[in-house]
Amino acid sequence: MPTILADTFQSALSRLTGQEQKAAKITAFDLQSDPDRPGMSFHRIEASKDANFWSVRVDRDIRIVVHKLGASLALVYVGHHDDAYRWAERRRMEVHPTTGALQIVEVRERVVEIAAPVQGDLFVSKSGSEPPVHLFAGLDRAALLTIGVPEDWTTDVLAADEDRFFALTPHLPPEAAEALLEFAATGSLPRAPAPVADPLAHPDTQRRFRVMEGADELRAALDAPFERWAIFLHPSQRGLVERDWSGPVRVVGSAGTGKTVVALHRVKHLLGGDPRGRVLLTTFSTPLAEALSTKLDLLLADRPGWRERVTVASFETGARELVALATGRQAHVADGRLLRAMVTSAARDAGVTEFSTQFLVSEWEHVIDPWRIDSVEAYGAVPRMGRKNRLGARQRERLWQVFGAVRAALAEKRLTTAAGLFDLAREAWEAAAARPFDHVVVDEAQDLGVAELRFLRAVVAERPDALFFAGDLGQRIFQQPFSWKGLGIDVRGRSTTLRVNYRTSHQIRQSADRLLPRSVRDVDGMEDERKGTVSVFEGPDPEVRIVHNVEEERRAAVVFLASLAAEGIGPEEIGVFVRSEQEMERALGVVAAAGLQAKTGTGSSGDRSGRVLVSTMHLAKGLEFRAVLVLACDEGVLPLASRVAEVADEFELDEVVMTERQLLYVALTRARERAFVSGIEPASEFLEDLTSMSSGLRSDWD
């Protein structure tokens, strides 16, 4: 009997305790392997409108709800006895008569009341005695059916005004709610997927249900409930994944809009289209590369041999391995402290005192090293993009005495820099007869630098669709901007913005968005428009606390952690982030005071260690938690005073402040449902933005 896994089952499973989850998984495996075995206790849920809903006993209190129809068995829910029965009594599972997609639908007559919503920033409420505006007055029932609205909910949708819309959407199938959100934001409905004969083959079905081919695949899915989006691809994203592109592609969108899932499914699509093709899936850090590898393992679990054709590595790790492969030797990279000492020593020896150490280090890091400048002539020709300090020929000659000496010192010690490592790999593979990869897929592409981008272009085959980038300029925290087009990577006409946020609640997203401008424009003039992004679910407002001292912060955070436990949010579903290592003890003290255990450093979403992850903001990327605490957002900590003190000019100061804002944005948007942010008064200037009561984003960024 085929076993079908619904995402509603995974969501419900994640809310159980560890022991309850273990028992439920064992029963699920038994159902898949032999549903007719003696001892399997099936009971029809008589009060349900759907006669095919049955309960299966896990233990004295836990029940799995299954849907039995013909030769199929679908795992649709799991919970405590009364909760499981109430869930089934309010729902039915059916094929939508117009779209042909399989849906789990709330029975309208069982929903007694739809409460008034929380006001958000998507709509502007009408004042005075004006009659309510029906948001979907321009649509009819036939149009609603084409996007998957159940027939018994069409009347509610057509009557919905601004005050009822957000309260209505949780009761609708996700594809219907998201299409209505898009219509409310843009005035047009998305194109419906083409009809298919098999309901299980419909794109809307495949984002919620998956046929399990064996126990290993079921185990992988059930062990990673936070990863389920890597299985269920949203139909609006499928076109980006499967399209034959005519050149480099860029997919952008704010945090939580599914850029990573698009990148992962693009890898899967490329592997399926070329049985011998090799793919590099890469990102800026080793922890994030490890997280991508785990998700890719899950995604390719049912495709034997495919995973072996993918290399998953950080930019630097990938470059190291390819240099070793091409040359047979390891590259040795100088660290930042040594480079700073070399710059200081070279300036002293050359008698260059008219430029500060901060300026010299900045010029090396942002101009000389990434552009691989090797002569004073090349220094005179390189564009110093955005830098306020204009340099004449004589000044560049003086400065080259310093930078030329640094290059010589590195060569003498047989050392290179990170940018030099990428350049070594580029030179080796540009001259090779064949490139090591047919495709390169990049996640968090906003943190690519000049040297990294040149390197990636050199290690991939010469084909139009060889490069696929996913990222968000609003999350750029490492690199200064530069022209991609100037390096031969032109994504104009092949850049798409994702606007539906599946991960983060409306309230958390709305607060986090206030940290950033409405749009971010890159050097090539392409604009990432953040306005119009919508979240698909509601939640409480983030709790922002400005306190008098560390002890008061600890007490407030402990109360917040206790509230999470009362809501059934486990320790492993909580992330705690601070700006730097200097604030780690403060965060660990909070976790200890709450009676919880902590794990530090890097982590992964869906970890079952029973411990709270405590880490720095820089390591937050790629992670996801039901709840997040961002602590120690004090004045002088965010933005970090030492970074501000080292800036070389006004341009770099603006960059530092912006990337510090983006760090807080990244940390905050790791949260799905609950968020807590704190700082000691006067606290970080950024907290004022989070607590702003004005609708939308900051007006001074418009």
Task: Say what the pLDDT of residue 480 is.
Answer: 64
479/678 Cα distance (integer angstroms): 27
Helix 418-430 × helix 315-327 angle, to 10°: 50
The answer, yes or no, to whether the previous bond of 639 is cis (omega within 30 of 0) is: yes
Residue-range domain boundaries for the chain: 3-101+197-222, 108-186, 236-328+432-498, 342-415, 534-701
The two structure tokens encoding residue 473: 């300029």
The CA distance from 636 to 240, in Å, is 42
Instruction: Give the model's pLDDT for residue 315.
Output: 95
pLDDT at 120: 41
pTM given for the model:
0.69
* Tokens 């609603």, located at residue: 144
Statement: 3-101+197-222 belongs to CATH 3.30.2310.20: yes
Q: In whole angstroms, give the CA distance from residue 311 to residue 276.
A: 14
User: How many residues are given for the chain?
Assistant: 702
Contact 88, 77 (CB under 8 A): yes
**Are 69 and 35 in contact, with CB atoms under 8 Å apart?**
no
* Rounded Cα gap, residues 496 and 520, in angstroms: 14
Rounded-to-integer distance, Cα 634 and Cα 683, Å: 4
pLDDT at res. 93: 95
Residue 275 makes CB contacts below 8 A (sequence gap 6+) with: none
What distances in angstroms separate CA 215 from CA 4, 21, 30, 303, 452, one per listed residue? 12, 16, 9, 15, 41
> What's the pLDDT score for residue 525?
63
Please report the pLDDT score of residue 126 as a whole number: 40
User: How distant, in Å, are the alpha carbons of 55, 93, 647 from that of 102?
Assistant: 20, 7, 57
Q: How far apart are CA 213 and CA 194, in angstroms?
A: 26
Q: Which of 205, 202, 178, 150 is nearest to 5 (CA)?
A: 205
Task: Say if domain 236-328+432-498 classifies as CATH 3.40.50.300.
Answer: yes
Give the DSSP letter of residue 460: B
Question: Is 3-101+197-222's fold the same as 236-328+432-498's?
Answer: no
- Tell me the chain's radius of gyration from C-alpha atoms: 27
- Note the helical H segments in 531-577: 550-566
Round to whole Å and give the CA distance between 443 and 497. 15
CATH code for the structural domain at 534-701: 3.40.50.300
Find out whether the peptide bond into 542 is cis, omega within 30 degrees of 0: no
What amino acid occupies position 309? R
Name the one residue in this structure whose structure tokens are 């126990």: 215
Output the pLDDT for position 615.
94
Cα–Cα nearest to 541, from 663, 682, 690: 690
Give start and end residues of each alpha helix (H) in 449-583: 450-458, 506-513, 550-566
Give every residue of the chain whose pLDDT is below 50, as ranges: 115-129, 225-227, 229-230, 605-606, 693-702
